[in-house]
A and B are shown apart, each in its own frame.
Chain A
Amino acid sequence: MNPVLSVKGVSKHFGGLKAVDDVTFEVRRGEILGLIGPNGSGKSTLFNCILGQLPASGGKVEVDGRDVAGLRPCDLNLLGVGRTFQMLQVFPEMTVLENIILAGQEHKGTMFSRLFGKPDAGLTDEAKRMIEFFRLTHQTNEKAGSLSYGQQKLLDAAMAFMAGPKLVLLDEPAGGVNLTMLAHLKERLKAFNEERGATFVVIEHNMEFVMSLCTRIIVLANGRIIAEGEPEAVRNDPQVIEAYLGG
């Protein structure tokens, strides 16, 4: 079976700095792949290149075997690729429900209904199920800007999943989230992966979170892959220990 995502020799240079240097890996259907590395190792830049938010300096990205060079993020979303951001990214002036409906609507409807259709786009029920899934029911009609940080992270994830994507890139989902909320987020992500077969790539600093969530881990340092494998194997890899402690 085709990998969901295949990254072939992708590089990104900023002047003389090689932020991402010839990175190649594949993401298999249904897996939760962790992408870890010390600060400045190129993780977020790699995400941005994959999604076309930054033009890569070289290499190729394929989604389901299709070259996505030159596609804009909104086109990729229609191909089934979603992402969440490191910094909080919700629409603060809209309610939780409106945020989630917005996240799902571009995939529905005809040209006419996309232009003049009702803003709920027939998605209210599905959106409510998603809100329930992420345990945000009590906040359904609150403005997203008024939620706690952890709740906004959940909302962010819910929005990324709303379009029913094949692949979601999660950029530091655990950052700044308290422990209770973190356990909850992890459990929800796992459930989503098992129930709907969604594939994730997770960038994360929190080692415990990554080790317990992911099925496979890739370690980046200075823009290059230095290790790849099961969580246990990666944890004990001397190069990884060196990169984290020595770097």
Chain B
Amino acid sequence: MTEFIQLLISGLATGSIYALAAIGFTLLWQASQTINFAQGEFVMLPAFFVLAGMHFLGLGFGPAILLALVASLLILGLTFKRVIIDPLLPHGVLPVVIATIALGILMKESVKQFYSAEAQPFPALFSERTITVLGAVVSVQDIAVLLISLSAVGLLQFFLTGTKTGRCMQATAQNPAVAEILGVNVKRMILYTFLINAALALLASVLISPIYLAKFNNGETLGLIAFIAAIVGGFNQIRGAIAGGLLIGVIDNLAAAYVSAQYRSAIPLILLIIIILIRPQGLLGKAEGRTV
């Protein structure tokens, strides 16, 4: 039982990081029908912004994170939207998909080329101490990661439902033409969505890199798992992405311990296939009709 609790909590912790990346998929899809196949690399890259700030500019960890936030907002938010999505989106979803796959490769190879091909140690945000909860030994880091991710998600939900701008972003997602007619600056709302995605990517990056180390190809697994999490939970619902992320984190951990560590990475894919077969709109998603 104690082992189960340990696995559960550490699964929830990694799952909450997957959820952050999965929410990004959902937000971009809702706001602009963009599927960002570079999402995994979006989570990989900010850790290198932090490391570059520390190693090349001699910044402390905190200031380096701030620098990475600015860089993420500018590059993964603003530039990504202006240079890649805006020109391509009018031509349909497929060009965007191809372009983001290419972008992912570019980001990955650039980090490998210009920074390092080796996994880089990343400073831990929290002590590596453990505490005992209900007899189970749990790391402080896991609990802190879980709390921070969930607070970020809570804050985001509050922003979307509890502020005027959030309401306008929802309106933009539900019906952009009408929102525009009603005076909502739709282009700006979509930009906000991209900025939020960039900030979430930074957060996920800073939380996950101390656990898995910062490596140029981290995005491959992360992007895939976040994508699966978003589909499993329901691509058009933020709470679906959260549920999907947490679920995969936990199942992954439990399966590795109780079923087979060898087949660990197959588990999310099996889950994906099952969900697509029996509930294609995702656990919490709503079926969407689209006119072509």
State the A residues within 8 Å of B (CB): 51, 53, 72-74, 77-78, 82-83, 85, 89-94, 98, 101-103, 105-107, 109, 113-119, 121, 159, 163
Check if A91 sits within 8 Å of B183, measured CB to CB.
Answer: no
Q: Which residues in chain B, 157-207, are within 8 Å of chain A measured between CB atoms? A: 161-168, 170-171, 174-175, 177-186
Known interface pairs A89-B177, A119-B167; A77-B182 also in contact (CB < 8 Å): yes
The listed residue with most A CB atoms (<10 A of its CB), out of B164, B171, B177, is B164
Give Cα A72 to B168, complex, Å.
17
Give the total of B residues in contact with A, Cβ under 8 Å: 22
Check if A118 sits within 8 Å of B162, measured CB to CB.
Answer: yes
Check if B167 sits within 8 Å of A78, measured CB to CB.
Answer: no
Check if B163 sits within 8 Å of A118, measured CB to CB.
Answer: yes
Checking A77, A92, A119 against B174 with a beta-carbon cut-off of 8 angstroms, the contacting residue is A92
Instruction: Say how far A51's CB is from chain B's closest CB, in angstroms.
Output: 7
Check if B167 sits within 8 Å of A98, measured CB to CB.
Answer: yes
Known interface pairs A115-B163, A121-B164; A91-B170 also in contact (CB < 8 Å): yes
CB neighbours of B182 from chain A (8 A): 74, 77, 82, 102-103, 106, 159, 163
CB neighbours of A118 from chain B (8 A): 162-164
Having A85-B181, A91-B175, A105-B168, one finds 17 other A-B pairs with CB under 8 Å, namely: A72-B180, A73-B181, A74-B186, A77-B181, A89-B177, A91-B178, A94-B171, A101-B167, A102-B179, A109-B164, A115-B163, A115-B164, A116-B165, A119-B161, A119-B163, A119-B167, A163-B182
CB neighbours of B162 from chain A (8 A): 118-119
Residue ID in chain B nearest A121 by CB atoms: B164
Check if B178 sits within 8 Å of A85, measured CB to CB.
Answer: yes
Give Cα A90 to B185, complex, Å.
17
Known interface pairs A91-B170, A91-B171, A94-B174; A113-B181 also in contact (CB < 8 Å): no
CB neighbours of A119 from chain B (8 A): 161-164, 166-167
Give Cα A105 to B163, complex, Å.
11
Check if B170 sits within 8 Å of A114, measured CB to CB.
Answer: no
Instruction: Say how far A106's CB is from chain B's closest CB, in angstroms.
Output: 3
Check if B183 sits within 8 Å of A74, measured CB to CB.
Answer: yes
The listed residue with most A CB atoms (<10 A of its CB), out of B166, B171, B178, B180, is B178
